[in-house]
């Protein structure tokens, strides 16, 4: 099968399987920590407001610290920076666990969780390795980026489920503890695979990726797409709760991630038609159109099973859109600062998720969960407008992709 051939060729590269195994192990906890923290804090302190404030603080700290960590990775290498940064983040997670366990003052929870912001962008470092291994092979890089997006979806699909299971089946701190062990072990496996690590550039460009031509509109697009993801999650939780099936919300959201994961793998196995800049508006348009399905299912039927099916289909446009976006980020980022550029994109997504979550929560509280599904559609429409406005100039490639 052509699909299997593309991925067999990809993982036939020397060292590819080894660094991917470590990266996936380190990436899985990214979908575990926030859920684990909410369950752990709310279960022991009896306050969802405190739990939400602590995780929001961690998100804000990550938005500030992550690009700085990525810049150090670009300048000094993955192994020299990522492992110490991971150790510091793991110590922050363990400190949070101990503070919760021993009823420490609330401010210690904020300080501990903020320390986890040094966690390196594992997905960005993995994409940087593929870019190094597949230099001059745009088709192979397309397949690699598609696999990485599918891996993101898989980890964020399985992570919350695993965290909820561990915290419920064992003890409230189990999710955080297991996540810390997985992160540390996976990063150790990843960083010790030095043969595939991109070499540090002798001359790091002075121009920051944020000021590179075409990057600001791409980051604005990431912000809008993050709002899609954040609002969809909150609104779906509220919709399921209103239907009396709150426990099923995780499974419904997992279906959306599963649709994106499957689409990402299929997208990576086909030859992309035309440059990424010209594909992006089509991908965003498809995402916008498909996001109307959950809104229609909620308005016309109000049935959770039909909503789940609609989210499964809507998710199929996510991975192709994200793959194309990340490809453009790679092309736009100055040589030698790829980790920083990729992390800026992730920071934009995180900022959008926070905004989308807040807007979705407000809409659910003041209007209804059904009306809340209009927020993802509106955010996707903004993303579409951004992609169309820049398609003819800002998103057009001005140099050969690296």
pLDDT tens digits, 301-343: 888 889 989 999 998 888 888 888 888 887 787 776 777 777 8
Instruction: Please state, for a pLDDT cut of 90, what percent of the chain lies above it.
Output: 17
The per-residue DSSP string of 235-271 comes to: HHHHHHHHTT-GGGHHHHHHHHHHHHHHHHHHHHHS-
Q: Does position 206 have pLDDT exceeding 60, yes or no?
A: no
End-to-end distance of the chain based on CA atoms, in angstroms?
28
Among the listed ranges 16-20, 75-79, 150-154, which one has the minimum average pLDDT value?
150-154
pLDDT at residue 1, rounded to an integer: 52
- How many Cβ atoms sit within 10 Å of the Cβ of residue 265? 21
CA atoms within 13 A on the CB side of 118: 18
Gap between the Cα atoms of 156 and 140, Å rounded: 25
Tens digits of per-residue pLDDT, 216-271?
Answer: 888 889 899 888 887 887 788 778 877 777 667 667 877 888 888 888 878 877 77
Burial of 77 (C-beta count, 10 Å sphere; 0-12/13-18/19+): middle
Please give the domain boundaries of the chain with CATH numbers for all domains.
Answer: 1-196 (1.20.1250.20), 209-402 (1.20.1250.20)
Distances (CA, A) of 377 to 121, 220, 388: 28, 16, 16
- Six token digits for residue 352: 């959008």
Question: Mean pLDDT, the chain, as a whole number?
Answer: 82
pTM reported for the whole predicted model:
0.75
241-260: b (≥16 Cβ within 10 Å) or e: eeeeeeebbbebbbbbbbbb
pLDDT at residue 38 is higher than 80: no
Confidence band for 390, pLDDT divided at 50, 70 and 90: low
The predicted pLDDT at position 210 comes to 67
For the segment 2-30, the average pLDDT, to the nearest whole number, is: 83
Largest Cα separation within the chain, whole Å, is: 60
Q: Residue 401 has what pLDDT?
A: 42
Residue 288: which of 259, 257, 262, 321 has the closest Cα? 321
Structure tokens at 92: 């922050």
For residue 333, give the nearest of 197, 205, 226 by alpha carbon. Answer: 205
Q: What pLDDT digit, counting tens, does each position of 155-190 carry?
A: 877 777 788 778 777 888 888 899 999 999 999 999
pLDDT tens-digit series, residues 104-127: 998 999 999 899 989 888 888 888
DSSP designation for 207: S
Residue 318: the pLDDT is 86
**Predicted local distance difference test score (pLDDT) of residue 399:** 42
DSSP-derived 3-state class of residue 100: helix
Q: Which two tokens stand for residue 125?
A: 């470092």
**pLDDT exceeds 90 at position 87:** yes
* Residue 104: half-sphere exposure toward Cβ, Cα within 13 Å: 13
Q: Is 227 helix (H, G, I), strand (E, B) or coil?
A: helix
Distance CA 246, CA 248 (A): 5
With 0-12 CB in 10 A as exposed, 13-18 as middle and 19+ as buried, what is 325?
A: buried
> Where residue 402 falls among pLDDT bands split at 50, 70, 90?
very low
Place of tokens 């049935």: 303
Structure tokens at 328: 């453009």
Phi-psi region at 199: left, alpha or beta (left = phi > 0; alpha = psi -120 to 50): beta
On whether the CB atoms of residues 188 and 90 are closer than 8 A, the answer is no
């Amino acid at each position: 099968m052509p699909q299997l051939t593309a991925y067999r060729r990809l993982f036939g590269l020397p060292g590819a399987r080894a660094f991917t195994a470590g990266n996936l192990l380190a990436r899985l906890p990214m979908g575990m920590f926030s859920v684990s923290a909410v369950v752990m804090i709310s279960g022991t302190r009896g306050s969802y407001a405190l739990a939400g404030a602590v995780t929001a603080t961690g998100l804000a700290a990550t938005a500030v610290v992550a690009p700085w960590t990525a810049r150090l990775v670009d300048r000094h290498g993955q192994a020299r920076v990522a492992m110490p940064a991971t150790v510091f983040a793991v110590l922050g997670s363990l400190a949070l666990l101990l503070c919760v366990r021993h009823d420490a003052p609330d401010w210690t929870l904020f300080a501990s969780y903020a320390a986890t912001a040094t966690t390196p962008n594992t997905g960005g470092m993995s994409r940087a390795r593929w870019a190094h291994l597949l230099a001059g092979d745009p088709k192979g890089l397309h397949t690699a980026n598609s696999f990485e997006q599918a891996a993101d979806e898989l980890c964020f699909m399985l992570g919350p489920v695993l965290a909820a299971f561990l915290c419920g089946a064992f003890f409230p701190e189990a999710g955080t503890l297991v996540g810390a062990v997985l992160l540390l072990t996976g990063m150790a496996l990843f960083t010790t695979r030095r043969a595939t690590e991109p070499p540090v550039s002798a001359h790091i460009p002075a121009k920051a990726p944020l000021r590179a031509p075409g990057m600001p509109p791409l980051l604005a697009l990431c912000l809008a797409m993050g709002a899609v993801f954040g609002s969809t999650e909150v609104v779906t939780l509220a919709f399921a709760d209103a239907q009396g099936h709150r426990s099923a919300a995780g499974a419904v959201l997992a279906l959306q991630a599963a649709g994106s994961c499957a689409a990402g793998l299929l997208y990576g196995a086909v030859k992309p038609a035309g440059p990424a800049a010209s594909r992006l508006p089509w991908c965003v348009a498809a995402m916008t159109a498909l996001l109307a399905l959950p809104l229609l299912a909620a308005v016309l039927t109000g049935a959770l099973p039909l909503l789940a099916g609609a989210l499964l289909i809507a998710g199929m446009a996510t991975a192709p859109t994200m793959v194309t976006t990340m490809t453009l980020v790679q092309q736009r980022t100055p040589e030698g600062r790829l980790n920083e550029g990729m992390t800026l994109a992730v920071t934009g997504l995180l900022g959008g998720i926070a905004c989308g979550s807040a807007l979705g929560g407000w809409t659910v509280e003041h209007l209804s969960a059904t009306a809340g599904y209009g927020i993802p559609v509106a955010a996707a429409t903004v993303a579409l407008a951004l992609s169309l406005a820049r398609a003819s100039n800002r998103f057009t490639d001005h140099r050969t992709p690296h």
